[in-house]
Amino acid sequence: MKIYLFGILNCDLNLVQVGDWNSLWRLKLPPKIHYFIWRLQWRCLPLRGQLMEKGMYIQNICSCCNRATETRSHLFLHCPFVASFWSHMNIDVVGVEENKFNDWFVDVLKKYPDNVTSQACLLLWSVWKFRNTNVWNKYQLLLVSVFQHGLKFLMSWREAQVKVVTHSNATATHLRQSHKWVPSSDGWLKCNLDGALFAQQVKYGMRVVLRYHVGHFIAGFSVAFNGHYSSTEVEAIALKEVLS
Ligand SMILES: [Zn+2]
């Protein structure tokens, strides 16, 4: 809650949003990326140039290239670490200045299909992560790695959404059917397992329960590891753990 309030209090609430912002909310993106874009548009991010404007006595130079004032237009569009990504995505950023940043973004939402605008949002989010790693961890990742990691995260998130919808539909279809645990055939052991993804922490977890055919508990465990996998891969790893 404190962080949220800090974010709100540091926003430039004098800005007037124009254009079709519904296109942004319609994009299939994780809530944290939507929220990040919202903060970016309202100048809520603690960019050095903005902090200096608000009266903080700090260096306002870009945290990534040390060549220009760290504003939204520089860091997210023109910084040498970033510019080639926009060119690769065929999105024109030439001449976009700080006071035209929101107009540029609305234009991108209007001109390009959802898959391109989703990638544009993901790139903006990746640049912010890349910049923060430079500032706080004092080492430099490759932006391309951060972006690729973001793409994997986005795919996993979308996959999980489909799974939830499919599961909801299945639940509705079989509403009258029992969901009680069903024992295995005589002499067989039964193993139930489930995987969980924690994309933000780059972790995954699994829970496993092994029972006799009559239902008696034999063993079980719940564990988390570092790594980034799809839900199917996590379930396969859980199965391997059971068999090893
Ligand atoms: Zn820069």
Q: Tens digit of pLDDT for each residue in 195-230?
A: 777 776 777 787 787 777 666 667 777 777 777 777
Token pair listed for 102: 């929101």
* Backbone dihedral region for residue 128 (phi beyond 0: left; psi -120 to 50: alpha; all else: beta): alpha
Output the pLDDT for position 228. 74
140-164 mean pLDDT = 86
Distance, CA 190 to ligand 1 centroid (Å)?
A: 57
Distance, CA 71 to ligand 1 centroid (Å)?
A: 9
Distance, CA 188 to ligand 1 centroid (Å)?
A: 62
User: What three-state secondary structure class fits 211?
Assistant: strand
What is the average pLDDT value for the chain, to the nearest integer? 81
Return the half-sphere exposure (C-beta side, CA atoms, 13 A cut-off) of residue 66.
Answer: 2
Distance, CA 77 to ligand 1 centroid (Å)?
A: 9
pLDDT exceeds cutoff 80 at 18: no
8 Å CB contact between 118 and 142: no
Distance, CA 76 to ligand 1 centroid (Å)?
A: 8
Q: Tens digit of pLDDT for each residue in 90-128?
A: 999 999 999 999 999 999 999 999 999 999 999 999 999
Q: Tens digit of pLDDT for each residue in 180-202?
A: 667 777 767 778 887 777 776 77
Element (H, E) at 83: helix 83-88
Distance of CA 124 to CAs 49, 85, 203, 222, 223, Å? 17, 10, 23, 36, 33
What are the domain boundaries of the chain?
2-158, 190-243
Output the pLDDT for position 77. 97
pLDDT exceeds cutoff 60 at 178: no
Distance, CA 127 to ligand 1 centroid (Å)?
A: 11
Distance, CA 189 to ligand 1 centroid (Å)?
A: 59
Within a 10 A sphere around the Cβ of 211, how many other Cβ atoms? 18
- State what percent of residues in the chain have pLDDT above 90: 39
